[in-house]
Amino acid sequence: MYNQLNAIQSHQRAGNTLFLDCGGPRVAITALTEKIIRVRLAPQGSFNARRSWAITPPDESFPPVPLELTEKNGRLVLSTAALSIQINCAPCRITFHDLEGRPFCADTDGLGWSAVEGFQGVTCAKRIEPGENFYGFGERTGRLNQLGQRLTNWATDHHRYGPGDDPLYIAIPVCLALRPQGAYGVFLNNTWHSCFDLGAFRPGTWTMEAEGGELDYYVIYGPTPAEVLAGFGQILGTTPLPPLWALGYHQSRWSYGSEAQVRELAAEFRRRRIPCDVIHLDIDYMDGYRDFTWNAERFPDPPGMIADLKQAGFRLVAIVDSGVKIDPAYEVYRDGLERHMFIQCANGEIFHGFVWPDDSVFPDYTRPEVRQWWGEKQQRLIDAGISGIWNDMNEPTVFTLPFSQGGGQQKTIDPDTPQGPEGERTFHAEVHNLYGSGMAQASYEGLRRHTQTRPFVLTRSGYAGIQRWSACWMGDNMARWDHLEMAIPQLLNMGLSGVPFVGTDIGGFFDNAEGELFARWMQFGALMPFSRGHSHTETGPHEPWAFGPRVEAICREYLQLRYRLLPYFYTLFWETSRCGTPVLRPLFYEYPDDAATYQIHDQVLLGPWLLAAPVYQPGQEQRPVYLPAGEWYDWWTEKVIVGPIQHAAHAPLERLPLYVRAGAILPSRPDTNYTEERHPDTLTLDIYPGNGTFTLYEDDGHSFDYERGQFCTTRYQVLQDETNLKIEIGARSGSYHPSPRGLLLRIHGIEKQQADRLPTADYDSARRILTLQREDDGQGLQLEF
């Protein structure tokens, strides 16, 4: 039962905010930009003074926005240059309109607050417009479009989750609503247990509800999905440029549990010439699961081992769990206790529960001094040469009994446990969803302080804004075909929630993969922004060579493809660092006016140019692929297919259906076994006639010098008219200078007569590819023929 707002009795403007007084309850509507509007409800009339937990810039930091307020026919209309907010006065209801007058995000019941004694919930009900679909919502199962679903935001270690399960580890109350000509986003700025109901309870109405805190939401108008994502980036932050090595392939397992095993694994990758940059150490490297320690028997000389591996081009990432073992002989426990770093119950006892290290306590990462302290503790791993930190069990997961006694009940920290920074004390119920983000922030900031290079952090749990600190993987999936299928929309919806650096355990975590499943998973996995194979301790070997030579060859081929495309991947990460753009995108992201793309959950675009349609069924050698309007080049055959079309792709086990959009300029580099093996001696540009532009970004790949201008960009353009193809390579601009290299242009889809107009080039008539070789002097180049 919720109270609803009555009539507005007075209103008042203060700067960019319009306050509405509804006879006690008050509403504040703030235009932060012409497209970002914040709406807050104070049921008792006074707004919560607490800062937002996840919003980066304070409201005051936005420059003034030209605003117009008019009143007519019992309505208040607040207009920016991009939209208008129409407020019905009796009762108070808010509707947004685009410049053509189309309504969106319109209140039905509007803002509500609990009418039940002892329950502090808030709610807001909005109309689902005809043809509207809903995406994002962080880490989800099921299809891409979440229309008709009810989704919970409560970080949970959902044991053996599968399609249809809710909620999972990551809680991101962010949604992207889409219909032709109009996308908008909503961020529910509330960290409590909350739900989105997308018409499951009441068809035609979508709601957001939280079990505590304020009703406080941001509406971000597009009209394109790209503009919505840019808006999310403005308020929630973006992923900083990762180190290049983190874009390589990562190999993990629970656990590579000894120095000999790790060395053997590394050698095997090089022997077999399968590209790999990173090896992950799961919990067995530790001494009795004590964070920041080493098991001296299994790993007698971590610095020596890590130094040798570095020589061979491998980095190590070490897992760190959130639970700190209760053990008076353990320095981290003792020190943390002395400095009051752990979460304490209301009765003064330290909260404790069972995880891998048995009885454990939990740092309160909402407190800056705790994050600082945790970051210092990482020093031991960094001193040994560890390059990145993997945060696990940080929902946090807590059990009632030791694992040796079956673990008992799985839960988390009790909701009424006090937590929070000085002056902002609250209870776990409010900050539960932030636990993973706080831990990742502590890890990121500690790594940055101590290494002065770009950190790599991987986390299982997180809240909105987690992209500022960490990559995310989708937890414990299974080696099953439906889990491979689920991975596709799962990663796409993460990207649409502002989190681009994502991947699933390639091959599946639980159970044994068979070769065919592994090969198909790797074909998609090689294109995942975060690409890591990982598996459970009770499974058989899951390394790329574990399934025989045919699967091994497939893994090699697709990982080599990933490595060749690194300049493209890297530029896509640069884009997301600036604009929040997803690296892996659903089709509708690039074709928002094509409603045929709205329900496609099983195809992806890697950046603007590459379309992949992973095969996720056994024995399948053909699958339907939707190609939107325009020309598409089949990656394998060079055949041109004209969309929009539903096309049957030929997909024997060796083939991932892959297409390049006309107008593409795809930068690539020569094969390497790891990202920093040598300076690439050639920059290759694959050019696909059509109309397009692309800006390549380059820097040293590991330092923060780019923040001081040490980077360069090169703009490319392809123009095609009836008779001529024009290719323009701009002069390189910026103060970073790549090492000397050649430039290889491969122009696709060229007919013989046209090729003859460029006699200096090599022509492959079977594949219709024209090749030109130059020095890459950074001066730019123009071709027209």
Nearer to ligand MIG, 282 or 686 (CB): 282
Nearer to ligand MIG, 392 or 776 (CB): 392
Phi then psi dihedrals of residue 114, to 5 deg: -55, 135
Nearer to ligand MIG, 242 or 475 (CB): 475
What is the C-alpha to C-alpha distance for residues 76 and 180, in angstroms, rounded to an integer? 28
Nearer to ligand MIG, 475 or 607 (CB): 475
The single residue among 143, 367, 377, 460 that binds ligand MIG, judged by CB under 6 A, is 460
The single residue among 176, 195, 283, 320 that binds ligand MIG, judged by CB under 6 A, is 283
| Look-up of token digits 């020190």 | 335
Distances (CA, A) of 756 to 267, 428, 662, 748, 766: 48, 71, 22, 14, 15
Q: What track of x and - describes contact with ligand MIG for positions 467 through 496 (by CB under 6 A)?
A: --------xx--------------------
Phi then psi dihedrals of residue 59, to 5 deg: -50, -40
The single residue among 139, 211, 364, 392 that binds ligand MIG, judged by CB under 6 A, is 392
Q: Which amino acid is at 42?
A: A
- At its nearest, how many Å lie between ligand MIG and the CB of residue 393? 6
Nearer to ligand MIG, 459 or 597 (CB): 459
Tokens of 430: 């409010």
Among 392, 552, 698, 776, the active-site one is 392
Among 282, 476, 634, 699, the active-site one is 476
- At its nearest, how many Å lie between ligand MIG and the CB of residue 319? 6
What is the C-alpha to C-alpha distance for residues 586 and 608, in angstroms, rounded to an integer? 10
Q: What track of x and - describes contact with ligand MIG for positions 215 through 254 (by CB under 6 A)?
A: ---------------------------------------x
- At its nearest, how many Å lie between ligand MIG and the CB of residue 560? 26
Q: What is the dihedral of CA 521, 638, 144, 591, to 10 degrees?
A: 160
Q: What is the sign of the dihedral through the CA atoms of 600, 604, 607 and 608?
A: negative
Contact 419, 428 (CB under 8 A): yes
Spatial neighbors of 271 by CB under 8 A, at least 6 apart, are: none
* Element housing 309 (H / E): helix 302-311
What is the C-alpha to C-alpha distance for residues 271 and 455, in angstroms, rounded to an integer? 29
Nearest Cα neighbor of 252 from 319, 322, 306 is 319
Spatial neighbors of 540 by CB under 8 A, at least 6 apart, are: 512, 546
Q: What track of x and - describes contact with ligand MIG for positions 291 through 330 (by CB under 6 A)?
A: ----------------------------x-----------
Q: What is the DSSP string of 126-172?
A: EEPPTT-EEEE-SS--S-S--TT-EEEE-----TT--TT----SEE-
Residue 392 annotated among the catalytic residues of the structure: yes
* Element housing 427 (H / E): strand 426-427
Tell me how many degrees the CA angle 220-63-60 measures, rounded to the nearest 5.
Answer: 85
Q: What track of x and - describes contact with ligand MIG for positions 393 through 432 (by CB under 6 A)?
A: x---------------------------------------
Spatial neighbors of 196 by CB under 8 A, at least 6 apart, are: 134, 137, 146, 150, 151, 153, 173, 175, 188, 206, 207, 208
- At its nearest, how many Å lie between ligand MIG and the CB of residue 469? 18
* Element housing 278 (H / E): strand 278-281
Contact 560, 275 (CB under 8 A): yes
Residue 476 annotated among the catalytic residues of the structure: yes
- At its nearest, how many Å lie between ligand MIG and the CB of residue 378? 18
Among 395, 430, 516, 631, the active-site one is 395
What is the C-alpha to C-alpha distance for residues 400 and 395, in angstroms, rounded to an integer? 15
Nearer to ligand MIG, 76 or 474 (CB): 474
Contact 292, 320 (CB under 8 A): yes
* Element housing 270 (H / E): helix 259-271
- At its nearest, how many Å lie between ligand MIG and the CB of residue 776? 42
What is the C-alpha to C-alpha distance for residues 305 and 256, in angstroms, rounded to an integer? 13
- At its nearest, how many Å lie between ligand MIG and the CB of residue 459? 11
Residue 395 annotated among the catalytic residues of the structure: yes
- At its nearest, how many Å lie between ligand MIG and the CB of residue 283? 4
Phi then psi dihedrals of residue 325, to 5 deg: -60, 135
Nearer to ligand MIG, 139 or 211 (CB): 139
Task: Please give the residues from 162 up to 221 whose contact with ligand MIG meets the rule CB under 6 A.
Answer: none
- At its nearest, how many Å lie between ligand MIG and the CB of residue 503? 12
- At its nearest, how many Å lie between ligand MIG and the CB of residue 157? 8
337, with CB counted inside 10 A (0-12, 13-18, 19+), is middle
Indicate the residue whose CB is closest to ligand MIG.
254
Q: What track of x and - describes contact with ligand MIG for positions 511 through 540 (by CB under 6 A)?
A: -----------------------x------
Nearer to ligand MIG, 393 or 431 (CB): 393
- At its nearest, how many Å lie between ligand MIG and the CB of residue 475? 5
Nearer to ligand MIG, 397 or 603 (CB): 397
Q: Which amino acid is at 225?
A: P
Nearer to ligand MIG, 140 or 542 (CB): 542
What is the C-alpha to C-alpha distance for residues 517 and 530, in angstroms, rounded to an integer? 19
- At its nearest, how many Å lie between ligand MIG and the CB of residue 264? 20
Tell me how many degrees the CA angle 386-499-199 measures, rounded to the nearest 5.
Answer: 145
Task: Please give the residues from 534 up to 593 whose contact with ligand MIG meets the rule CB under 6 A.
Answer: 534
Half-sphere exposure (Cβ direction) of 405: Cα atoms closer than 13 Å: 10
341, with CB counted inside 10 A (0-12, 13-18, 19+), is buried
Nearer to ligand MIG, 135 or 254 (CB): 254
Tell me how many degrees the CA angle 524-397-279 measures, rounded to the nearest 5.
Answer: 40
Contact 584, 496 (CB under 8 A): no
Nearer to ligand MIG, 473 or 573 (CB): 473
Tokens of 458: 């991987």
Residues in the interface with ligand MIG (CB under 6 A) total 10
Nearest Cα neighbor of 396 from 486, 292, 291 is 291
- At its nearest, how many Å lie between ligand MIG and the CB of residue 371? 22
Task: Please give the residues from 751 up to 770 whose contact with ligand MIG meets the rule CB under 6 A.
Answer: none
The single residue among 214, 282, 291, 395 that binds ligand MIG, judged by CB under 6 A, is 282
Nearer to ligand MIG, 253 or 556 (CB): 253
Which residues are identified as catalytic? 392, 395, 476
Instruction: Write out the residues near ligand MIG by the rule CB under 6 A.
Output: 254, 282-283, 319, 392-393, 460, 475-476, 534
